[in-house]
Amino acid sequence: MITLLSLSFSIVCLVYITPACLMSFVPCQYAVGKVLFGFCTLVIFAFPTIFFPYLSDVFDSSVPSEFMLYQRVFTSTFVGRKSIIKERFSKKYRHPTLDSKLTLKRLNAEARCMTKARRLGVCTPVLYSVDQVLHTLTFEYIDGPAVKDVLLEFGANGVVEERLDDIAAQIGYAIAKLHDGGLIHGDLTTSNMLIRDGSNQLVLIDFGLSFTSTLPEDKAVDLYVLERALLSMHSSCGNVMDRVLAAYRKSSKQWSSTLNKLAQVRQRGRKRTMVG
Amino acid sequence: MKVFDIDGSTLSLALYDDVANSKELLHSVQAGKLEPEVAFLNASLIPDIFPVLAAAHKTLVTKARDSLTTRTLHSELVYNYSGSKHITESLKRCGISESSTYVLAARFNASADEMEAVRKIVNGKEIDLEELEGRAGVAEIQKLYKVPGLELGIGSLADAITCRIASRDAL
């Protein structure tokens, strides 16, 4: 982020420095026109410098830019227990009514999907409190590394086969349970899965993009997102996806239609919704 | 009796068994004449104090925003302990009935004198809060909060109740 910021700044500086040289080439007889042209180019280059800090927030919180809902995560205590507070704050450029409706809708959906996932037998953090006025969710703090960190460590220091097998099997089992219950996670990446210290249990987090659907298409896309994430970050660990799919096949009741669709989705490339 | 601190306010909890005068207690609570004001919860629905603390936290927050849905702070605590939005049903199920003998009394910001007064009006034997876990009606809780067996495999009953308490208003 810092290097790109300095790059944009240097571009702006360049634009400042070379006006005299460029202005003579601007095909306009009047001085006003030249100044206006210079101003416009300045604005175009200055735009990323000003807005990049906000844009990087979007990339950090792994939310696709079409939703434009930003999130902040804090650690805190809830009646003596360590907890995580997730705040969903709104950006002021949106129309206020629309913005508040969207934020509340997403907040409630996340709380609902998390409780539904629990009911299906998928391990998620315990929801301690939902605050609709402050737009926050308070969950239990899970002690332990993200699957992403564990797999990166495997990639750097060599793979522990049975631990990898265990993690992949748990991932496949958890996703199978979710999909059989008609719930799509929406953001299946290794940074959204934690391993609880001690019991080595897999915990799924971040249901902010989840929705209910029984379509094999949606389930296949969910699995495809995970596959792309594993391929891009953890190809040094060997074929993790195969093991995940094997566990999925064992635990899910509708695996055949989903896996057939997955083959089709792989051929097409990534597509989120079949609209239009 | 134990006192818990919740974001500045305190909650005092006392567990009673073999309560004989639950009918009178219920009537005086419903008439609003119980002095000092206490919340009575059906203790067989409580496997652990954590869900009660979560409900208490929620109650304090709604009180601070002046958005109580029931008449008093303590009836709000009983309503919040339930997983349903139906007020009368929640008060009936999670609060005491005329025949209940196993009761948890809770009061916000109570002094030692007030808790002593509570002990006098409740005609029963005070027991330690550690006994909550052993005497909880697991089947009853599972039926009331609709907790499937799968969910008990991934967490405790208290976790399931806390989730439902938290997400009730989001449903």
Q: What is the pLDDT along chain A (276 residues), one digit of tens a residue?
A: 555 555 555 555 454 454 444 555 555 566 666 666 656 555 554 444 444 333 333 333 344 433 445 678 888 888 888 999 998 877 778 888 888 888 888 899 999 999 999 999 999 999 999 998 888 999 999 999 999 998 888 888 888 888 889 999 999 999 999 999 999 999 999 999 999 988 889 999 999 889 999 999 999 999 999 999 998 888 888 888 999 999 999 999 999 999 999 998 888 865 555 665
A180 included as an active-site residue:
no
Task: Determine which helix (DSSP H) or strand (DSSP E) holds A73, and give its type and residue range.
Answer: strand A70-78
Residue where the block lists tokens 């958005």: B67
Q: Which pLDDT value is given to residue A258?
A: 93
- Report the chain B residue with the minimal C-alpha distance to residue A199: B154
- Which residues share a beta bridge with A137? A86, A130
Residue A267 half-sphere exposure toward CB, CA atoms < 13 A: 5
What DSSP character marks residue A146?
B
Q: Is B50 exposed, middle or buried (0-12, 13-18, 19+ CB in 10 A)?
A: buried
Q: Which pLDDT value is given to residue A272?
A: 52
Which of A127, A170, A200 is the best substitution to test chain B (most B C-beta atoms within 10 A)? A127
Q: Which pLDDT value is given to residue B83?
A: 86
Q: Which pLDDT value is given to residue B113?
A: 87
Contact flag A131-B61 (C-beta cutoff 8 Å): yes
- Which residues share a beta bridge with A138? A85, A129
Give the residue from B81, B105, B110 showing the smallest Cα distance to B93: B81
Reported ipTM exceeds the 0.95 cut:
no
Cβ-count burial B111-127 (b if 16+ within 10 Å, e if not) = eeebbebbeeebebeeb
Are the beta carbons of A158 and A243 closer than 8 angstroms? no
Q: Calculate how close chain A gets to B57, using CA atoms only, in Å.
A: 8
- Report the chain B residue with the minimal C-alpha distance to residue A109: B170
> pLDDT below 50 — which residues of chain B?
none
Report chain A residues whose CB lies below 8 A from the CB of B5: 80
Q: Which of A108, A122, A128 has its CB closest to that of B54?
A: A128
Which tokens sit at B61? 């927050």
Handedness of CA B11, B12, B18, B23 (dihedral sign): negative
Give residues with Cβ within 8 angstroms of B55, minimum separation 6.
B77, B80, B81, B165
Q: Which of B7, B56, B164 has its CB closest to that of A115?
A: B164
Report the alpha-carbon distance of residue A136 to residue B160 in Å, rounded.
Answer: 20
* Residue of A187, A206, A218, A222 marked active site: A187
Are the beta carbons of B167 and B57 closer than 8 angstroms? no
Q: Which pLDDT value is given to residue B111?
A: 86
Q: Calculate how close chain B gets to A121, using CA atoms only, in Å.
A: 5
Q: Which of A112, A122, A126 has its CB closest to that of B170?
A: A112
Give residues with Cβ within 8 angstroms of B49, minimum separation 6.
B2, B4, B13, B129, B132
Q: Which pLDDT value is given to residue B26?
A: 87
Neighbours of A61 (CB within 10 A): 16
Which tokens sit at B151? 């969910």
